[in-house]
Chains A and B, each alone.
Chain A
Amino acid sequence: NAGVTQTPKFQVLKTGQSMTLQCAQDMNHEYMSWYRQDPGMGLRLIHYSVGAGITDQGEVPNGYNVSRSTTEDFPLRLLSAAPSQTSVYFCASSYSGKSNEKLFFGSGTQLSVL
Protein backbone atom coordinates (compact mmCIF):
# COMPACT_ATOMS: atom_id res chain seq x y z
CA ASN A 1 0.00 0.00 0.00
CA ALA A 2 1.87 3.07 -1.24
CA GLY A 3 -0.46 5.72 0.24
CA VAL A 4 -0.01 9.14 -1.37
CA THR A 5 2.73 9.36 -4.00
CA GLN A 6 4.04 12.73 -5.16
CA THR A 7 6.49 13.42 -7.96
CA PRO A 8 8.92 14.98 -8.48
CA LYS A 9 10.63 15.50 -5.10
CA PHE A 10 12.64 18.47 -6.34
CA GLN A 11 12.24 20.82 -9.30
CA VAL A 12 13.90 23.99 -10.48
CA LEU A 13 12.07 26.15 -13.00
CA LYS A 14 12.76 29.37 -14.78
CA THR A 15 10.23 32.19 -14.56
CA GLY A 16 7.51 31.64 -17.15
CA GLN A 17 7.96 27.89 -17.50
CA SER A 18 5.06 25.56 -16.85
CA MET A 19 5.04 22.21 -15.14
CA THR A 20 2.79 19.64 -13.51
CA LEU A 21 3.20 18.20 -10.03
CA GLN A 22 1.80 14.70 -9.89
CA CYS A 23 -0.17 13.21 -7.01
CA ALA A 24 -1.66 9.73 -6.83
CA GLN A 25 -3.26 7.78 -4.01
CA ASP A 26 -4.20 4.11 -3.85
CA MET A 27 -6.53 4.26 -0.84
CA ASN A 28 -9.74 4.98 -2.79
CA HIS A 29 -9.99 8.39 -1.16
CA GLU A 30 -12.58 10.76 -2.55
CA TYR A 31 -11.03 13.89 -1.06
CA MET A 32 -7.69 15.16 -2.37
CA SER A 33 -6.00 18.51 -1.87
CA TRP A 34 -2.88 20.53 -2.54
CA TYR A 35 -1.09 22.69 0.04
CA ARG A 36 1.93 24.92 -0.04
CA GLN A 37 4.31 25.40 2.87
CA ASP A 38 6.22 28.66 3.10
CA PRO A 39 8.68 29.70 5.83
CA GLY A 40 6.95 31.24 8.82
CA MET A 41 3.49 30.26 7.63
CA GLY A 42 1.12 27.38 8.17
CA LEU A 43 0.15 25.05 5.36
CA ARG A 44 -2.15 26.89 2.95
CA LEU A 45 -4.74 25.20 0.76
CA ILE A 46 -4.36 25.77 -2.98
CA HIS A 47 -7.08 23.57 -4.54
CA TYR A 48 -9.11 20.60 -3.45
CA SER A 49 -11.38 17.94 -4.89
CA VAL A 50 -14.19 15.97 -3.30
CA GLY A 51 -14.38 13.39 -6.09
CA ALA A 52 -13.64 12.68 -9.73
CA GLY A 53 -14.75 15.57 -11.92
CA ILE A 54 -15.14 17.98 -8.98
CA THR A 55 -12.55 20.60 -8.02
CA ASP A 56 -12.65 23.88 -6.15
CA GLN A 57 -10.36 26.68 -5.06
CA GLY A 58 -8.72 26.96 -1.68
CA GLU A 59 -7.09 29.94 0.00
CA VAL A 60 -4.30 30.59 -2.54
CA PRO A 61 -5.41 29.31 -5.99
CA ASN A 62 -3.96 31.98 -8.29
CA GLY A 63 -1.41 30.70 -10.79
CA TYR A 64 -2.43 27.05 -10.36
CA ASN A 65 -4.83 24.71 -12.15
CA VAL A 66 -6.06 21.27 -11.14
CA SER A 67 -8.16 18.51 -12.63
CA ARG A 68 -9.56 15.26 -11.28
CA SER A 69 -10.29 12.84 -14.10
CA THR A 70 -9.88 9.74 -11.90
CA THR A 71 -10.30 9.00 -8.20
CA GLU A 72 -6.58 8.17 -7.91
CA ASP A 73 -4.91 11.19 -9.53
CA PHE A 74 -4.93 14.89 -8.74
CA PRO A 75 -2.24 16.80 -10.67
CA LEU A 76 -1.35 20.42 -9.93
CA ARG A 77 -0.34 22.58 -12.90
CA LEU A 78 1.72 25.74 -12.70
CA LEU A 79 0.75 27.71 -15.78
CA SER A 80 3.57 30.26 -15.87
CA ALA A 81 5.92 29.88 -12.93
CA ALA A 82 6.81 32.94 -10.85
CA PRO A 83 9.42 33.32 -8.09
CA SER A 84 6.53 33.75 -5.60
CA GLN A 85 5.63 30.11 -6.27
CA THR A 86 8.92 28.92 -4.80
CA SER A 87 7.66 26.71 -2.00
CA VAL A 88 7.23 23.17 -0.73
CA TYR A 89 4.07 21.57 -2.07
CA PHE A 90 2.16 18.77 -0.38
CA CYS A 91 -0.65 16.64 -1.70
CA ALA A 92 -3.01 15.26 0.94
CA SER A 93 -6.06 13.00 0.87
CA SER A 94 -8.75 11.64 3.15
CA TYR A 95 -11.55 9.13 2.68
CA SER A 96 -14.49 11.46 2.04
CA GLY A 97 -13.24 14.83 3.27
CA LYS A 98 -15.23 14.97 6.50
CA SER A 99 -13.77 17.11 9.28
CA ASN A 100 -13.09 14.14 11.57
CA GLU A 101 -10.94 12.31 9.02
CA LYS A 102 -7.19 12.56 9.24
CA LEU A 103 -5.26 13.66 6.19
CA PHE A 104 -2.67 11.42 4.53
CA PHE A 105 0.18 13.45 3.07
CA GLY A 106 2.57 12.83 0.22
CA SER A 107 6.30 13.31 0.70
CA GLY A 108 6.34 16.82 -0.76
CA THR A 109 7.84 18.61 -3.75
CA GLN A 110 10.43 21.30 -3.21
CA LEU A 111 10.03 23.80 -6.06
CA SER A 112 12.38 26.67 -6.82
CA VAL A 113 11.50 29.26 -9.45
CA LEU A 114 14.43 31.39 -10.61
Chain B
Amino acid sequence: ILNVEQSPQSLHVQEGDSTNFTCSFPSSNFYALHWYRWETAKSPEALFVMTLNGDEKKKGRISATLNTKEGYSYLYIKGSQPEDSATYLCAFNSGGSNYKLTFGKGTLLTVNP
Protein backbone atom coordinates (compact mmCIF):
# COMPACT_ATOMS: atom_id res chain seq x y z
CA ILE B 1 0.00 0.00 0.00
CA LEU B 2 1.49 3.35 -1.07
CA ASN B 3 1.81 6.17 1.42
CA VAL B 4 0.32 9.51 0.37
CA GLU B 5 0.53 12.03 3.19
CA GLN B 6 -1.18 15.38 3.32
CA SER B 7 -0.34 18.09 5.82
CA PRO B 8 -1.69 19.75 7.75
CA GLN B 9 -4.82 17.69 8.44
CA SER B 10 -6.76 20.91 8.95
CA LEU B 11 -6.24 24.61 9.20
CA HIS B 12 -8.21 27.74 9.88
CA VAL B 13 -7.31 31.02 8.19
CA GLN B 14 -8.84 34.47 8.02
CA GLU B 15 -10.38 35.83 4.87
CA GLY B 16 -7.64 37.43 2.78
CA ASP B 17 -4.83 35.21 4.13
CA SER B 18 -2.75 33.19 1.71
CA THR B 19 -2.14 29.60 2.61
CA ASN B 20 -0.53 26.44 1.35
CA PHE B 21 -0.56 22.74 2.04
CA THR B 22 1.57 19.76 1.14
CA CYS B 23 1.10 16.38 -0.47
CA SER B 24 3.95 13.89 -0.06
CA PHE B 25 4.18 10.75 -2.16
CA PRO B 26 6.71 8.07 -3.16
CA SER B 27 9.40 9.41 -5.50
CA SER B 28 9.44 6.22 -7.59
CA ASN B 29 6.93 4.95 -10.20
CA PHE B 30 5.45 8.40 -10.70
CA TYR B 31 2.83 8.82 -13.40
CA ALA B 32 0.62 11.67 -12.23
CA LEU B 33 -0.48 13.73 -9.24
CA HIS B 34 -4.11 14.84 -8.95
CA TRP B 35 -5.58 17.60 -6.76
CA TYR B 36 -9.32 17.67 -5.96
CA ARG B 37 -11.44 20.11 -4.03
CA TRP B 38 -14.29 18.62 -2.00
CA GLU B 39 -16.90 20.91 -0.53
CA THR B 40 -19.22 19.54 2.14
CA ALA B 41 -22.30 17.80 0.68
CA LYS B 42 -20.90 18.07 -2.85
CA SER B 43 -18.80 15.88 -5.17
CA PRO B 44 -15.00 16.10 -5.23
CA GLU B 45 -14.04 18.27 -8.20
CA ALA B 46 -10.73 18.15 -10.05
CA LEU B 47 -8.41 21.13 -9.70
CA PHE B 48 -5.25 19.91 -11.40
CA VAL B 49 -3.60 16.84 -12.88
CA MET B 50 0.17 17.20 -13.00
CA THR B 51 2.52 14.84 -14.79
CA LEU B 52 5.94 16.44 -15.19
CA ASN B 53 8.58 17.33 -12.61
CA GLY B 54 8.57 21.09 -12.16
CA ASP B 55 4.97 21.44 -13.39
CA GLU B 56 3.17 24.52 -12.14
CA LYS B 57 -0.56 24.91 -12.67
CA LYS B 58 -2.86 27.80 -11.86
CA LYS B 59 -6.62 28.24 -11.70
CA GLY B 60 -7.70 31.66 -10.48
CA ARG B 61 -6.26 32.17 -6.99
CA ILE B 62 -5.24 28.51 -6.64
CA SER B 63 -1.92 27.17 -7.91
CA ALA B 64 0.10 24.01 -7.49
CA THR B 65 3.69 22.92 -7.95
CA LEU B 66 5.17 19.47 -8.39
CA ASN B 67 8.54 17.95 -7.43
CA THR B 68 8.61 14.31 -8.46
CA LYS B 69 12.28 13.78 -7.56
CA GLU B 70 11.69 14.53 -3.88
CA GLY B 71 8.05 13.39 -3.86
CA TYR B 72 5.97 16.41 -2.96
CA SER B 73 3.43 18.84 -4.33
CA TYR B 74 2.30 22.15 -2.86
CA LEU B 75 -1.13 23.69 -3.26
CA TYR B 76 -1.31 27.46 -2.75
CA ILE B 77 -4.38 29.62 -2.25
CA LYS B 78 -3.84 33.36 -2.55
CA GLY B 79 -6.19 35.71 -0.68
CA SER B 80 -8.44 32.98 0.79
CA GLN B 81 -12.19 33.53 0.62
CA PRO B 82 -14.91 31.79 2.68
CA GLU B 83 -15.99 29.92 -0.46
CA ASP B 84 -12.54 28.28 -0.52
CA SER B 85 -13.52 26.33 2.60
CA ALA B 86 -13.34 22.68 1.59
CA THR B 87 -11.28 19.53 1.91
CA TYR B 88 -8.42 19.41 -0.57
CA LEU B 89 -7.45 15.92 -1.68
CA CYS B 90 -4.35 14.83 -3.49
CA ALA B 91 -3.97 11.50 -5.26
CA PHE B 92 -0.78 9.86 -6.50
CA ASN B 93 -0.86 7.70 -9.61
CA SER B 94 1.77 4.96 -9.63
CA GLY B 95 0.75 3.30 -12.89
CA GLY B 96 -0.55 4.16 -16.31
CA SER B 97 -4.21 3.94 -15.35
CA ASN B 98 -6.54 5.66 -12.91
CA TYR B 99 -7.12 2.43 -10.96
CA LYS B 100 -3.59 3.03 -9.68
CA LEU B 101 -4.62 6.22 -7.88
CA THR B 102 -3.91 6.38 -4.14
CA PHE B 103 -5.65 9.18 -2.29
CA GLY B 104 -4.39 11.08 0.72
CA LYS B 105 -6.65 11.80 3.69
CA GLY B 106 -7.06 15.42 2.71
CA THR B 107 -6.51 18.85 4.24
CA LEU B 108 -9.62 20.54 5.63
CA LEU B 109 -9.44 24.30 5.08
CA THR B 110 -11.79 26.65 6.91
CA VAL B 111 -11.72 30.33 5.91
CA ASN B 112 -13.28 32.62 8.49
CA PRO B 113 -14.91 35.84 7.26
Contacts of B102 in A (CB 8 A): 42
Binary contact readout B77-113 vs A (1 if CB under 8 angstroms, 0 otherwise): 0000000000001010101111111111110000000
Q: Is A66 an interface residue (CB 8 A)?
A: no
Partner of A56, one of B1, B95, B99, B105: B99
Partner of A99, one of B1, B31, B44, B105: B31
**Is the CB–CB distance between A98 and B45 below 8 Å?**
no
Q: Which positions 40-83 of chain A face chain B at CB distance < 8 Å? A: 40-45, 48, 50, 56, 58-59
Interface size class of A (residues with CB under 8 A): 20 to 34
Contacts of B1 in A (CB 8 A): 59
Contacts of B34 in A (CB 8 A): 102-103
Q: Is B13 an interface residue (CB 8 A)?
A: no
**Is the CB–CB distance between B98 and A94 below 8 Å?**
yes
User: Could you list 25 examples of A-B contacts with CB < 8 Å?
Assistant: A33-B99, A42-B4, A42-B104, A42-B105, A43-B44, A43-B91, A48-B98, A50-B97, A56-B99, A59-B1, A90-B43, A90-B44, A97-B97, A97-B98, A98-B96, A99-B95, A99-B98, A100-B31, A102-B34, A103-B34, A103-B36, A103-B46, A105-B44, A105-B45, A107-B42
Question: Apart from A59-B1, A97-B99, what are 8 other A-B pairs with CB-CB below 8 Å?
Answer: A48-B99, A50-B99, A90-B44, A99-B51, A99-B101, A100-B51, A102-B46, A107-B42
